Structures are given as structure tokens and as C-alpha cells.
Amino acid sequence: MPSLSFGKIEIEYTAQAARPTPGGYVLESASCAIQTPPTPRCYYRHGWQSWSLAAWHAPNQNFPLQKPVSLYPMQIDPVYAYNPNPNGSWVGAVEMDDGNILLLGALGLEAHVALRGGALQGWYESISKEPDAKHEWFVGYGAESEVFARYAELLGERLGRVSIEKAPRVWCSWYSLYNAIDENILLDTLDKLGDLPFDIFQLDDGWQVSIGDWQANEKFPSGMAALAEKIKSTGRRAGLWLAPLLATPSSSIYRDHKDWLLKDADGKLASAGFNFGEQLYALDTTHPEALNFLAETMKQVRAWGYDYLKLDFLYAGALPGKRHIDMPREAAYRHGLRVIREAMGADAYFLACGAPILPSIGLCDAMRIGPDVANYWDKDRDSRLLYNQTTPGVQNGIRTSLNRLWLKPLVHTDPDVAYFRSVECTLDETQKALLQDMTYVCEFKATSDLPHWWTDAEREAVRAWLTAEPAIERTGRATFTLDGRAIDFSPALPLPQPPTGFDGLLRAINAWGGDQGWIMSRMFQAWKRDLEKMKANIH
């Protein structure tokens, strides 16, 4: 077998062609393999989209199937949900006994990597649809930070990178009000933020008529433009959340334009998951009318005065299925994203969320690089029983974001919001501080705390956080110094022990419940009622 040489180390490989590049080699092959030691110390798993797990773990780590199955399209790459080997999207790496890493990373879309049979194996799924395309890989060996930096550089050359220097500081409505937002409470919040230096005031989910009908609902009687105007009058820019690639059964897209939606192999509508108490469907980004709708939606929100756009649930555009034009799924997504980007204009700030990572690079300014945080550290039912680390929680958020920091040269990296409040929050001071420190490391600051929840001291802590720009130095995989102060994210890294014994039964019951639409809908309605109660008590 031929080999790639890295100083004294020789790595055997199979691929059609290999050529040296600074820091390693570029392989050209629809599928390839590079030999690893029989038992490397650990394996780097890279999840498909923002919320999917990224982690270093033991190569023999027992990963029970993530549950529930109904959420696969929304949380992981559903194509590889049942792959028994350690595997990940586009890139995989192993840590060797000398502390160096060996990385195999795709330089194109629709690629997957698995650790199998003493090798990192990589393959492009799009080969049958684009037989003439170049299928390239980077192979690097050395210090973790250097190898990932070179991989990011090569991706940047092919996909592009963010040009804006600094990420804006954001107040976002989700992690306090959730979808119980309305015009009055937002205006009150805007007022109470006073002179705190937030650059953006961003409305999250809850303003729209339905998922698919991106018009103001009855909670916004003055309309979206009037609210943007009020926000801008405080010297801030207006931000808005949309999930433009989704449609639910209650939307007019579903009623009137089923032909815009992605189909499965049998020609039925493909599932994009379950949320908002409803089944989710995906827009087919190769359909000209769907593309036109996307462009018009972007122009509309810009005309209202919003120029910070958090576009969410974007994975929907890259799910497997039958499209109007038969093209590889991530290429189809990227085509749709390009149309969206062009319609919103280069002067808008675009945060991609729930976004497949590689196909979004170069077209967005920022990317959510982990699952949602929450006002708690961890939920045992989700993370351990269902073995689902894509669900909300601060531990899940920090773990995956930390393992995606290599994206920093390409895009602004959003680790989700920090918490400063002590009401409506069960995080202890250490946990809050760890998440705040993650926002420094990511150089992306956002919070959802309601200003009147803060004590005077907490409000001043927010001001100090917004103005601080500490010098960041990485001293290890999970350790940094911020202006010389040592921080360690290790407490967020461990993965739970899989459930055994009686817990196995609890797992089965919860997994079953998660696949029943009627149970999920009732849970969503109950959650909305609780929110309204919370809202009645917050003044």
C-alpha cells in the first residue's frame, strides 16, 4: 500500500491520487482510507448541523442510539443514524499516542468519515449524481490546533469566509420569553435595556402567523416595520428569526404549494422532524417557485427594517429526498442559501442556525456551533436516558461549541446565549461563569435575560461583559487563558453513562413517547400554557 510521510511517521492510504500541500496532503478520490493505530486514544466525531454532537470520545465508547427517532431529521444526519462505527460529517480525526492527531477532512460537500477496520475511511455520497466532480480530502498529522487550522484554511479557499471583523452584541428574545413574545413586552424590554451596549435587538420565534407564513401575527398589531423603527430609534439594529426552509401543515405553503416541498423516495412528503406541536416539512430549494418565495421573504423582512437575520432549521434544505431538479442534497441546500444570501443583501448580518456546517460556510456571517443552551445544566431524561446530546442544556451547548472552535477563521461562532440572571434559572454561579467564558472564547455575545430580572450587580456584570474584549489564549483542548485568567471547560465534556437495568425501561417508554405526535403536541401545548403563566408573573 502506498503511504503518506509525515517526518518519521508513514501513514498507509488508499485513494486515486495524492499530492502534498503545506501541512499535509490532498487526496483525490470518491472514497479513501488512511491507516490509524489499532487503538487510537480517542476519536473526533463531528455532527452534521449546528445542534448535532461534536466530541472527542474513546474509540470503543458505547453510543446507544439517540432517541426519539421522529427527531432524527432535525437533530442528526438521518442518513447515518444507524451507522455502528464512530463516524461524523465531512471530518474525523484520531489522537495518537504521541499526542498528535491524524485528521481526514473532506474539502467538498456530501462527505462522511468513519473509523473502521484500523482506518479512517471517507466517502462522498454524491458520486453517482456528479460523476465528474472533484472529490478532495485533506490529510493532516501533527498538533491538533495546527492540523485543524490548515483544514479550515483549505475550506476557506474553496467555500469562502466571513469578511466582517467583529460579531455584534445581541439581545435575543428566545431564552426568557420563548414564543410568548408580543409587541408590548418587547417594547418594555427595549426600554429597560436602557444604555446597555447591545448592537442588536432580535425577535425570535413567536412573531409569525405560522411556520411558512412569515407575516406578523395578532400579537404584533402595529406590524413588523413599526417595531423595527422603534428598535432603530434606540440606536440598535433590528434582528429577526425565521425558519424559511420549513413549512408546517397549518401553513399556506402546505395548503397551496405542496409541490414546493421535499419528497421521500416513495414520493410522499419527507419529514423534517417534529416541532411547534406539528410535523415539519422542508422546502425544495431546487424548485424555482420555492426559491422565488425565499427571495421575496428576505426582501420583505429587509424592507420592514430588519438587517440581522437568524435563519433557523436550515438543515431542512439538505435532507435526503427527491427534488424538482435531481442534484446532491448539500449542493441543493447551498444553491438555496446563495439565493437567500443574495436576496437579503451583503449588508445584512446572517446567523445560520440548525445549519449543516460545511455547506453554509462562506454564505453566512455567523453560525450556531452547538445545540441550544437552557436555564439548566442538563436534563437527565434527554441526555442520558434518550442518549440525546442535541437537546437544550448548558452542558450540551458548551461541549459541542468547544469542539467546533476550529471554525473561527471561517465564520463568527455563536455558542448561544449567556445567563446573568438568578430568577427563572437553575444554573449555579460556576455554570453561568463557564457559559459566559465560552462567549468570550467564541467572541460572540448574546443574552436573553429580561433586564428587570437582573439585580443591580447583575446588570453591571452584563455591562462589563459587553465591553470586555479579553485576550484569548488556548492552552489545551479544554483550557484557555482570558487576559491571563485560567479557565477550564472540562466539566462540560464527559458523555453520560448509557442507561442500564430499570433505566433501560424508562428509556424505552420515553423513546416511544417521543415518536407519538399526539404526545409531543400535548407537551408543546402544556409548555405554551406554562409560559403564559410565567409571563403573567414577570412584571
Residues in the site for ligand 9PG, rule: CB under 6 A?
A: 51, 71, 74-75, 174, 204-205, 241, 275, 312, 353-354, 372, 390
Shortest Cβ 320–ligand 9PG spacing (Å): 18
| Cβ-based nearer residue to ligand 9PG, 328 or 354 | 354
* Residue 323 DSSP symbol: -
Q: Identity (one letter) of the amino acid at 54?
A: A
| Cβ-based nearer residue to ligand 9PG, 291 or 394 | 394
| Cβ-based nearer residue to ligand 9PG, 4 or 224 | 224
Helix (H) or strand (E) holding 74: helix 72-75
Shortest Cβ 29–ligand 9PG spacing (Å): 34
Q: What angle do CA 53, 521, 354 make, to 5 degrees?
A: 30
Residue partners of 403: CB distance under 8 A and separation at least 6 = 44, 46, 54, 55, 56
| Cβ-based nearer residue to ligand 9PG, 241 or 260 | 241
Shortest Cβ 448–ligand 9PG spacing (Å): 9
Peptide bond into 73 cis (omega under 30): no
Beta bridge partners of 473: 481
Cell (9 digits) for 497: 453513562
Q: Is 378 left (phi over 0), alpha (psi -120 to 50) or beta?
A: beta
Shortest Cβ 407–ligand 9PG spacing (Å): 17
| Cβ-based nearer residue to ligand 9PG, 312 or 458 | 312
Q: Identity (one letter) of the amino acid at 306?
A: Y
| Cβ-based nearer residue to ligand 9PG, 114 or 386 | 386
Shortest Cβ 179–ligand 9PG spacing (Å): 7
CA 446 to chain centre: 15
| Cβ-based nearer residue to ligand 9PG, 92 or 514 | 514
| Cβ-based nearer residue to ligand 9PG, 6 or 524 | 524
- Which of 412, 313, 434 has the alpha carbon at shortest distance from 50? 313
Shortest Cβ 354–ligand 9PG spacing (Å): 6
| 11: helix, strand or coil | strand
Shortest Cβ 243–ligand 9PG spacing (Å): 7
Contact 273, 265 (CB under 8 A): no
Long-range contacts made by residues 521-529, C-beta under 8 angstroms, separation at least 24? 521/277, 521/278, 524/276, 524/277, 525/277, 527/178, 528/179, 528/180
| Cβ-based nearer residue to ligand 9PG, 21 or 521 | 521
Shortest Cβ 330–ligand 9PG spacing (Å): 20
Contact 368, 414 (CB under 8 A): yes
Q: Which residue is nearest to ligand 9PG (CB)?
A: 205
Shortest Cβ 75–ligand 9PG spacing (Å): 5
| Cβ-based nearer residue to ligand 9PG, 485 or 522 | 522
Shortest Cβ 539–ligand 9PG spacing (Å): 24
Measured between alpha carbons, how far is 485 from 252 in angstroms, rounded to an integer?
A: 53
Cell (9 digits) for 82: 444507524
Shortest Cβ 266–ligand 9PG spacing (Å): 25
Listing DSSP states for 130-156 in one string gives -TTS--EEEEEEE-HHHHHHHHHHHHH
| 215: helix, strand or coil | strand
Measured between alpha carbons, how far is 324 from 321 in angstroms, rounded to an integer?
A: 10
Peptide bond into 68 cis (omega under 30): yes
Shortest Cβ 265–ligand 9PG spacing (Å): 24
Cell (9 digits) for 360: 453554509
Shortest Cβ 141–ligand 9PG spacing (Å): 35
| Cβ-based nearer residue to ligand 9PG, 272 or 361 | 272
Q: What are the strands, taking DSSP E only, across 162-293? A: 170-172, 200-203, 208-210, 213-216, 237-242, 246-247, 271-275, 278-282
| Cβ-based nearer residue to ligand 9PG, 427 or 487 | 427
Contact 141, 104 (CB under 8 A): no
**H runs (alpha helix) in 345-496:** 357-360, 380, 394-402, 429-442, 456-467
Shortest Cβ 531–ligand 9PG spacing (Å): 12
| 367: helix, strand or coil | strand
| Cβ-based nearer residue to ligand 9PG, 121 or 251 | 251
Residue partners of 157: CB distance under 8 A and separation at least 6 = none
